[in-house]
Structure 1
Amino acid sequence: MLQPLHDIRVLDLSRVYAGPVGAMTLGDMGADVIRVEPPGGSDSLREWGPFKNGESTYYLSANRNKRSITLNLKTEEGKKLFLDLVEKSDVVIENFKSGTMEKLGLNYEILKEKNKGIIVCSVTGFGQNGPLGLLPGFDPVIQAMSGLMDVTGAPNGEATKVGIPIADIITSVYVALGIVAAIRQRDLTGEGQYIDMSLLDVQVSSMANVATAYLNTGMISVRKGNQHNNVAPYQLFQTADFPIMICAGNDHLFRKLSHALDHPEWGSDERFLTNNDRKQHEEELVDLIEEVLATRMSSEWVEIISKAKVPVGRVNNIQQALEQDQVIARGGIETVPHATGEVKLLASPLRHSGLNIQTKFGPPTLGQHNQEVFEELLRIGEEELSALSKNNVI
């Protein structure tokens, strides 16, 4: 079965996480993704441990389903080769600082002259305009500036970042989505386009209910730890051994939870009739629930509350999370080939009945596919490749 992007070629000049994962997602859908780095490499992600057979596991997480070439875009010959590749490609992804592609003589207008259907996606911290447009912006800085850190953490503690690069991860989804939308529009118009993707734009837009509450009521949300600003009971509760997360997100679920905890009278208690009532008496309600939960182990309560069809889950470490029967049943982990031997990776979460999402090969080593790509696409032979390498072009 053909993959949906089987006829799309992507030149991935991006580094670190948001751009590379967006490109990887396109590769999962069948695109031929060619990772382009200068000789010697440019991705600091390769230096971040821990390592498997000398390869950064962080790098591995962002680069499956790609081929890798080296190309020095600061040389005239390197630029010419890149433009020749652009002519045979559909998408260019880059996350250099604003203005870098223009300095290299490879901005969108120039690439469009070579290929009018080319789609260029630039990923930066702050976008191509505005007072911060020229500044770099890493994920934790974006988390801080977007308001995310201010609503994350314990009520009396310091503002806290999320434990994964969440701004990068969400941006990567928009990178892939934006490119697929541009491909679809090109199907209709025959024209490519330029995509200006900003981490700050994405993370601010992801503030969702917190932002909408402020915009419409002036309410500035505060850190609530593992409680919810608007819903109760919707938080972490301690059991006799480990904490569990319970989310009774509406009145019906709360009544079902009350029965599961063997206190059906809570469902008709005037203090707890509606969500607004429960929020007003949240402290009393939490004390009542924790008193009951302290009588059994977390595994028992998860089973009991799950049977009542109330959302509940134990707080797992990463080992426990990946070893869950549900994750295994859904094929969440896969073993893929790699130049240094097999590696284990998280699988794409896309599950389609007819799109054939798959991992064809593992993350490439630097320049692993130089000969393959340059010979296949530009008909460059081994002798010429050797000369290009000697001259630091590849």
Structure 2
Amino acid sequence: MTTSSETLFASAQGEGRHSAASAEPACDEGVRAPDDASLPLRGVRVLDLTRYLSGPYATLLLAEMGAEVIKVEVPEAGDDTRHIAPLQGDVSFYHSTINRSKASVELDLKSEEGRRLVHAMVADCDVFIQNFRTGVAERLGFGYDVVSKLNPKLVYCSISGFGGTGPESRRAAFDLIVQAESGVMSLNGEGDSPPSKLGLPVADLSSGMFAAHGILAALVRRSRTGKGGLVEVSMMSSLLSLSVYNATRYFVTGETPKRMGSRHPGVVPYGQYAASDGNVLLSTFSDGSWKKIVDAMDRSDLAKDARFATAASRVVHRDVCDAVLSEVFAGFTSEEVVNRLDKAGIPCGVVRSLGEALEMEAASGSGSITDVKYPGKVGSIRSVRIPIKFDGEWCPAQPAPALGQNNAILDRYKKS
């Protein structure tokens, strides 16, 4: 076993630990080396039976914080995301983004030999994670009741669409379906338009983040008790959790929140306004923000208008207030509006495309965007790092493995 109740994580320096990457590219200045012992999760071994996005995103976070992640894939085909276009060489941008810094082994989980090897690996791992539909892991022989007996110190994480119990638990779930059924889509878009999916796969990403949180908390608990445990996260509960004050407001008032686009139900001015060359966004909460805004835009006369004098009166006269502000901003470029309001202490920003934001961040030199070098003809794939720095340094981002690149890892378990 690799764990004990006296230490949070076992050292990966001893015999039997395998590196999750076959190559360790040179790191940029301000970025830890892939084998840096100061990475927080160095020494943690994760057996990853996840697919698509929610689970792989969770294990990406663990891998780039230092854990050794061994991703189990279907022989010959691999994770379905390996085939999602566009491709650079034979590498899918989708797959490479969320499976960086891991090892890949091929196993037929439906075969007796595949099941035996997984059980052998479980005994040598700190974390086991799967995101099969509820009931599938149990049918394959990898349910918590079976696996925890093989390794009582194992932290077992299950990500599902609708939870592990109840009438909805065995339904298939993808991000779009959960966005719809969780009510998140009902909040997105303008009031007179149909509900719209969010532009990001928030059900997948949030459940992946909550899974990583739960795994880390369970590892901390294991450091006290010496025992592993079960971590369960569902995509549905993850999105409902993100509804925070909207959910509480519904329970208190019985009123279902309505779509308001970029606007806020209780704050004006707030949201998106057109300038001469694009849109700007304001986020104001203080009662005195109106005077600061109109003074900054050379319209101090508007501070005397009783309709806009207080936060409460501005909500009552929302449409008029928004129209007046739009007329004022129309005489300036978006950058001019933001510069003026920023100097006045008003939170604001230019509404940019994702491409514009990425180019700005890359040019900033922050280090959050890096070129991940792949072997052969693939070349480099520009990627966004996980958004976590430790002691002022970024975590390393290594290439996603080729399918079965690390099959040699299995040799050790074949002999056990």
TM-score, length of structure 1 as denominator length: 0.91
1:193 and 2:229 aligned: yes
Map of 2:14 onto structure 1: none
1:134 and 2:134 aligned: no
Aligned residues of 1:338 and 1:364 also touching (Cα < 8 A): no
User: Displacement, 1:267?
Assistant: 3.8
Query: How large is the RMSD of aligned CA atoms in angstroms?
Result: 1.9
1:323 and 2:363 aligned: no
User: Displacement, 1:254?
Assistant: 3.0
User: Displacement, 1:272?
Assistant: 2.1
Cα 1:364–1:328 shift into 2, 3 Å: farther
Aligned residues of 1:30 and 1:357 also touching (Cα < 8 A): no
Of 18, 39, 43, which aligns to 1:3?
39
Map of 2:267 onto structure 1: 231
1:370 and 2:407 aligned: yes
Cα 1:325–1:309 shift into 2, 3 Å: farther
1:259 and 2:300 aligned: no
Cα 1:109–1:93 shift into 2, 3 Å: same
User: Displacement, 1:74?
Assistant: 1.2
Alignment partner of 2:198: what SS? coil
Matches within 5 A, 1:148-187: 148-187=184-223
Q: Distance in 1 between matches of 2:85 and 2:295?
A: 48
Matches within 5 A, 1:245-284: 245-284=281-320
Amino acid at match of 2:401: P
1:44 and 2:80 aligned: yes
Of 57, 73, 83, which aligns to 2:93?
57
User: Displacement, 1:101?
Assistant: 1.2
Aligned residues of 1:238 and 1:294 also touching (Cα < 8 A): yes
Report Cα offsets for 1:92-137 as digits up to 9, x if no partner. Answer: 1111111111111121121112111111111110011011001011
Map of 2:243 onto structure 1: 207
Q: Distance in 2 between matches of 1:106 and 1:357?
A: 35
Alignment partner of 1:244: what SS? strand
Report Cα offsets for 1:322-359 as digits up to 9, x if no partner. Answer: 111587333221112224332211011112327x6512
Cα 1:352–1:265 shift into 2, 3 Å: farther
Q: Distance in 2 between matches of 1:307 and 1:334?
A: 32
Q: Distance in 2 between matches of 1:101 and 1:6?
A: 28
Aligned residues of 1:15 and 1:42 also touching (Cα < 8 A): no
Report Cα offsets for 1:160-190 as digits up to 9, x if no partner. Answer: 1101101111111101100000000111111
Q: Distance in 1 between matches of 2:288 and 2:345?
A: 11
Map of 1:287 onto structure 2: 323
Aligned residues of 1:151 and 1:221 also touching (Cα < 8 A): yes
Q: Distance in 2 between matches of 1:152 and 1:325?
A: 26
Q: Distance in 2 between matches of 1:347 and 1:327?
A: 15
Of 106, 113, 129, which aligns to 1:93?
129
Q: Distance in 2 between matches of 1:309 and 1:329?
A: 26
Alignment partner of 1:251: what SS? coil
Cα 1:153–1:184 shift into 2, 3 Å: same
Map of 2:368 onto structure 1: 332
Of 363, 388, 393, which aligns to 1:350?
388
Aligned residues of 2:361 and 2:368 also touching (Cα < 8 A): no
User: Displacement, 1:247?
Assistant: 1.4
Alignment partner of 1:337: what SS? strand
Q: Distance in 2 between matches of 1:214 and 1:86?
A: 44
Q: Distance in 2 between matches of 1:15 and 1:271?
A: 55
Report Cα offsets for 1:254-288 as digits up to 9, x if no partner. Answer: 33222211223444533223322211111111111
Amino acid at match of 1:300: E
Structure 1 residue runs of 5 or longer lacking an equivalent are: 382-394
More helix by percentage:
1
Aligned residues of 1:322 and 1:328 also touching (Cα < 8 A): no
Map of 2:52 onto structure 1: 16
Q: Distance in 1 between matches of 2:111 and 2:346?
A: 61
Amino acid at match of 1:80: R
Aligned residues of 2:361 and 2:369 also touching (Cα < 8 A): no
Q: Distance in 1 between matches of 2:311 and 2:362?
A: 31
Q: Distance in 2 between matches of 1:327 and 1:275?
A: 39
User: Displacement, 1:362?
Assistant: 1.4
Q: Distance in 2 between matches of 1:294 and 1:283?
A: 16
Structure 2 residue runs of 5 or longer lacking an equivalent are: 1-36
Aligned residues of 1:239 and 1:297 also touching (Cα < 8 A): yes
TM-score, length of structure 2 as denominator length: 0.87
User: Displacement, 1:35?
Assistant: 0.7
Amino acid at match of 1:53: G
Aligned residues of 1:257 and 1:308 also touching (Cα < 8 A): yes
Aligned residues of 2:78 and 2:106 also touching (Cα < 8 A): no
